[in-house]
Structure 1
Amino acid sequence: MTSNTSTIPGLRTSVRQAVASGRWNEAYRAAESLAEITPDDDGVHFALGHAAIEMGWSQRAFEHFSRASSLRPGTVHYRIYLARALAALCRWSEALSICAELFEAHPHDPLIADTVGVIRSECAMHPQAGEAFARATALAPRDPGFQFNHAVWLGSDGQLDRADQAFEACLASDPRHWPAYYNLSINRRQTPGRNHLPQLRSLLARHGQDPMARLYLGAALAKELDDLDQCEESFRQLAEAKAAMRPYRNYSSERDAALFEAIAERVTTAGDPSLGHRSGEPLFVLGMARSGTTLVDRILSAHPDVYPAGELFNFPVAWKQALGERTFNPFDPDAIRSSPDPDWNALGRRYLESTRPATGSTAHFTDKLPQNYLYLGFIAQALPDARFIAVRRNALDTCLSNFRHVFAPGSPYFDYSYDLFDVARYFLMYERLMAHWKRVFPGRILEVDYDLLVQAPEVHAPAIMAFCGLDWDPAFLDFRNNAKPVRSASAPQLREPVHQRSHLRWQAYADQLEPVRKLLSATPTGTS
């Protein structure tokens, strides 16, 4: 292999600049070119791993971080990034082992503490994550990223006042940390005497030309206006905020339609249960995002035999690994149709083992990743004794709530949420896919009507427990007695009793939603 060492300085500069500006694909390509010239440069492999993990290429990130660590074993930050890659691959035990080692050995390193907190959160180790985030902010109180991560954890733990303070500390250090404004707004219900409307309006006037600022500030303003029943302006601000970001998402409803069709075509029979891993431990709570899955998860987790593991990506990761991460694209319709069946028993066992050590101490745990509806047919074959609870909410409420929420921009699942008609079309695809799953797997899916549940929880919640083989106690509905963790955008509301504030909220936006209502009602899976 020939090499041109004269290009090394330029390539190193390209890598640094691309990393600094978050251009990860460009950074990866430049670092790849460097690796061809200097294959034993630990810094190059670290750069490759950093870019890979930011782009979701977990296996490649693991390989490069492993290589960097082996080339320079004493570099602590290589090890913590290796733990990040292991966590992304759902190799939780290995990731947590590295975290424990580094957290103890480097008690004065705030980056180690913060990264340990992130990894522990991803591995469903909620109390331990809080300990790490608290250490990071104590060591570096002016770091906005550390304060933001701690604030999100505090909100999920029900410590709303402390979460507000941490978001404010984040913004004091970085007034342009746009997600912090949005999270501060959704952290609690705003009131006429306690809100951020003047601040948000002023910031929008100054920074509204920045699409990211427009998205988060506009969505925050829309949320607070909705809290105050100023619905017309709320919807206008929301529509403008989402429209500012939509061109950057490259979303295609037709592409999603092809994906849903391929998934349904791939699984047309229930398969042979004897080929799967026989465990009834996991309870899968799924449904469209913002449809009430967190409420159902909260009811289930009130039972002493159920641990709420959170929104786990363990099955999607295990499914991709089973079919070859480097070659299998789970969002490619042709790949879904043509890929061979995996070893179902091994897949089910790998999924279950990957959730340890967070799970295993109770008879059941909930996996509340809403978009597991995309994988339901595969989960059902890998885990033939698993139970599925599918939550369905009023169509217009579901669409409005998806449109109102700002999902993680890096997620591949929610690009439909930047346009209300795209949301409605996605909802119809979801309804058709769930109808397909109910035909293929009769008796294995309990459909829960969110609207009926919030109106009469004492009537409908016991049926959820019965479906899961669990006994019922009316005290399960008093969430103030449930100290188990909540990892959800709905976490603040779920520290209070079941309420109906979100039930038929679409009616306050009836005029704005009329075109969408017509689209939904034009099919058998429209509004009910």
Structure 2
Amino acid sequence: MPDSANSQRHRRAVSALNRGDLRAMAGECEAIVAADPDFADAWFLLAIAAEARRDLPGALAQLERAVSLAPDNSDYLAQQAKLLALLNRPAAALAAADAALAAGEPRALALDTLGVVFTRLGEHARAARVLQRAVDAAPSNAQFHFNLASAQQFLGDESGARAHYERAIDLQPRFARAYWALSELEKTAPDTTRQARLEALAADPALGAVDRLYIGHALSRLYEQRGDYPAAFAALCEAKNAQRERIAYDRAQDEALFAALQQGFTAADPEPRPPQQDWTPLFIVGMPRSGTTLVERMLSAHPAIAGLGELQDFPHAVKAASGERSPRVLDPAVIAGALEADPEQIARTYRNALETRGGTPAPGTRYLADKQPLNVLQLGFILRALPAARVIIVRRDPLDTCLANYRQLFAVNFSYYNYAYDIADTAHYYCLFDRLCRHWHTLYGARIHALQYEQLVEDPRQTLGAALDYLALPWDDACLDFHHRDGAVTTASAMQVRQPLYRDAIGRWRKYEKEMAPAIAELREQGVTGV
């Protein structure tokens, strides 16, 4: 086929991409590479189409063809870094990102992609610098401002984050996610102008279900700050009900998952053995919004503990060992497969991931703290694969936990949080969690340390001291000065843990006692104590 024909196909492919017709784009590109396998940009566009289909391995293979043909193309290298990060290959992703920056001055879109990659890899200061370059190159792009604001928020730059969220809204007045993110920064209710905007958006029937979630959460926070708790809860219900109907959450799916875990682990594994490194893994787990970030922040102020944040490395190690290709990271099939796997394989994969991610721990570091709350689902695999590991389960008042989960807008594409679109479903999930925790304590006893959030707030010295005793570490006053620490926080508690301890969240559910009736009934029916 003459070059001119391929050029025409390429123009049609780019046009199809611009109008969102990825199938047409892929068809044109497949014809191009059939005639000319060295047409790099066709491979690049095919990778974009494969990623949209969630075929990440296929997308990476096609992207690598493009990079092999044009090794100095920063667009290709940035996309390669993104795919490697999504595939949980942090070292390779970082190398590709560095190569993209070294290849010359990337375009604004590539800079934004690289900034998001650095954020995912925990390189938050680098992310903010690169995202600032993207904003400087394309100051009218609302999404670039939003991404920069997110990075600044993680780093504790509240004023910078607020300015860029507001700029994103100025550029795109219906930017629902930016309204929500901005509401998370507000300590007092904003002016009536923003309330009017939010209420107008919430009343717009054309607003999509996901955008409705963001606007509903922003409105709820505003009403709560003004003391109108019935309106705050109603705003959440209206937004969340639409999403719950869209996803068709099924309690039975979570029931099957928890049952598979309890049936898969019925006897304690061998007693702990000495760690194979100079450091020991420390897992801080619990229900989301139960105080795990606060505990990790306080403990990692200790010179012998390095906090790594919320990692997906252990769940990915279990999934890889299971050999399953199901879409969920953990489900009954993955559990069954991983139970047959060599625990040492899981341990080796996890240790390698930590060492690749964090490098050599600082001298004197005895624990690397992995604060992924949902690793509570992985405890059987953790204590089988890593017998020397230490585990702290953070517990909080059941009703405060349920309300906090319902008030939180979790990642909308992460199905593990689908319970949180209904307050009764949230309480039902809490019951599953509660039974699983009691199961783990029965199996593993003193190998697990339970820490109560309310006790930590009321008596941090004694409560944290008991946790340090469990870790065989001496007390250090730095643990009480946690809110002055530098470093990024990427969880839903990013702003709260930069403040001193406060009691405002204890008993918050009482402000919503009438609205919490379905949760109260569910918890009592299931026999949860403390309700």
**Considering the TM-score relative to the shorter chain, is it more than 0.5?**
yes
TM-score, length-normalised on structure 2?
Answer: 0.88
Residues 34 and 44 in structure 1, CA contact (< 8 A), matched pair in contact too: no
Query: Using the alignment, how far apart are the partners of 1:288 and 1:227 within structure 2?
Result: 25
Tell me what 2:201 maps to. Answer: 203
Query: Using the alignment, how far apart are the partners of 1:491 and 1:140 within structure 2?
Result: 28
Instruction: Give the direction of change, closer, same or farther, for the CA distance of 1:31–1:236 in structure 2 (3 Å limit).
Output: farther
Residues 43 and 66 in structure 2, CA contact (< 8 A), matched pair in contact too: yes
Could you tell which deviates more after superposition, 160-169 or 278-287?
278-287
Give the drift of 1:395: 0.9
Query: Using the alignment, how far apart are the partners of 2:28 and 2:395 within structure 1?
Result: 46
Residues 276 and 381 in structure 1, CA contact (< 8 A), matched pair in contact too: no
CA-to-aligned-CA distance 1:327-350 (integer Å, 9 cap, x gap): 685444244325553232232122
Tell me what 1:399 maps to. Answer: 402
Instruction: Give the direction of change, closer, same or farther, for the CA distance of 1:445–1:11 in structure 2 (3 Å limit).
Output: farther
2:321 counterpart of 1:318 = no
Query: Using the alignment, how far apart are the partners of 1:20 and 1:414 within structure 2?
Result: 32
2:504 counterpart of 1:495 = no
Tell me what 1:132 maps to. Answer: 130
Give the drift of 1:38: 7.3
Residues 292 and 450 in structure 1, CA contact (< 8 A), matched pair in contact too: yes
Instruction: Give the direction of change, closer, same or farther, for the CA distance of 1:506–1:195 in structure 2 (3 Å limit).
Output: farther
Instruction: Give the direction of change, closer, same or farther, for the CA distance of 1:84–1:11 in structure 2 (3 Å limit).
Output: same
1:284-299 alignment, distance < 5 Å:
284-299=283-298
CA-to-aligned-CA distance 1:109-151 (integer Å, 9 cap, x gap): 3223222222222222222222222222222222222111111
Residues 185 and 196 in structure 1, CA contact (< 8 A), matched pair in contact too: no
2:516 counterpart of 1:486 = no
Tell me what 1:442 maps to. Answer: 445
1:64-463 alignment, distance < 5 Å:
64-191=62-189, 196-206=194-204, 209-272=207-270, 278-279=276-277, 280-324=279-323, 326=325, 330-338=329-337, 341-355=340-354, 356-362=356-362, 363=365, 364-463=367-466
Give the drift of 1:33: 8.2
Give the drift of 1:517: 0.4
Give the drift of 1:289: 0.9
1:246 alignment partner AA: R
Could you tell which deviates more after superposition, 215-224 or 343-352?
343-352
Give the drift of 1:387: 1.1
Query: Using the alignment, how far apart are the partners of 1:442 and 1:38 within structure 2?
Result: 65
Instruction: Give the direction of change, closer, same or farther, for the CA distance of 1:379–1:215 in structure 2 (3 Å limit).
Output: same
Could you tell which deviates more after superposition, 416-425 or 9-18?
9-18
Local SS of the residue matching 1:316: helix
2:61 alignment partner AA: E
Instruction: Give the direction of change, closer, same or farther, for the CA distance of 1:82–1:481 in structure 2 (3 Å limit).
Output: same
Give the drift of 1:179: 0.7
Could you tell which deviates more after superposition, 442-451 or 176-185?
442-451
Residues 66 and 82 in structure 1, CA contact (< 8 A), matched pair in contact too: yes
Local SS of the residue matching 2:514: helix
Could you tell which deviates more after superposition, 316-325 or 180-189?
316-325
Give the drift of 1:56: 5.4
Query: Using the alignment, how far apart are the partners of 1:401 and 1:32 within structure 2?
Result: 48
Query: Using the alignment, how far apart are the partners of 1:43 and 1:275 within structure 2?
Result: 53
Give the drift of 1:181: 0.4
CA-to-aligned-CA distance 1:366-397 (integer Å, 9 cap, x gap): 21111111222112222211111111111111
CA-to-aligned-CA distance 1:291-325 (integer Å, 9 cap, x gap): 11111111112112333221111112222222335
Instruction: Give the direction of change, closer, same or farther, for the CA distance of 1:196–1:258 in structure 2 (3 Å limit).
Output: same
Local SS of the residue matching 1:401: helix
- For structure 2, the residue ranges without an aligned partner over 5 or more in a row are none
Query: Using the alignment, how far apart are the partners of 1:287 and 1:102 within structure 2?
Result: 38
Local SS of the residue matching 2:68: helix
1:238 alignment partner AA: L
Give the drift of 1:15: 10
Local SS of the residue matching 1:179: helix
Give the drift of 1:68: 3.5
Pairwise CA RMSD of aligned residues?
3.2
Instruction: Give the direction of change, closer, same or farther, for the CA distance of 1:434–1:488 in structure 2 (3 Å limit).
Output: same
Query: Using the alignment, how far apart are the partners of 1:275 and 1:464 within structure 2?
Result: 20
Give the drift of 1:198: 2.9
Residues 13 and 25 in structure 2, CA contact (< 8 A), matched pair in contact too: no
Give the drift of 1:197: 2.2
Query: Using the alignment, how far apart are the partners of 2:433 and 2:24 within structure 1?
Result: 36
Residues 40 and 67 in structure 2, CA contact (< 8 A), matched pair in contact too: yes
Give the drift of 1:459: 2.2
Q: How many residues align?
A: 520
Residues 322 and 336 in structure 2, CA contact (< 8 A), matched pair in contact too: no
Could you tell which deviates more after superposition, 518-527 or 31-40?
31-40
Query: Using the alignment, how far apart are the partners of 1:281 and 1:527 within structure 2?
Result: 34
Residues 285 and 373 in structure 2, CA contact (< 8 A), matched pair in contact too: yes
- For structure 1, the residue ranges without an aligned partner over 5 or more in a row are 1-5
Instruction: Give the direction of change, closer, same or farther, for the CA distance of 1:52–1:510 in structure 2 (3 Å limit).
Output: farther
Query: Using the alignment, how far apart are the partners of 1:314 and 1:55 within structure 2?
Result: 24
Residues 165 and 178 in structure 2, CA contact (< 8 A), matched pair in contact too: yes
CA-to-aligned-CA distance 1:21-52 (integer Å, 9 cap, x gap): 5x99x799979987997794655654554355
Could you tell which deviates more after superposition, 370-379 or 129-138?
129-138
Instruction: Give the direction of change, closer, same or farther, for the CA distance of 1:230–1:381 in structure 2 (3 Å limit).
Output: same
Tell me what 1:3 maps to. Answer: none
Query: Using the alignment, how far apart are the partners of 1:15 and 1:154 within structure 2?
Result: 33
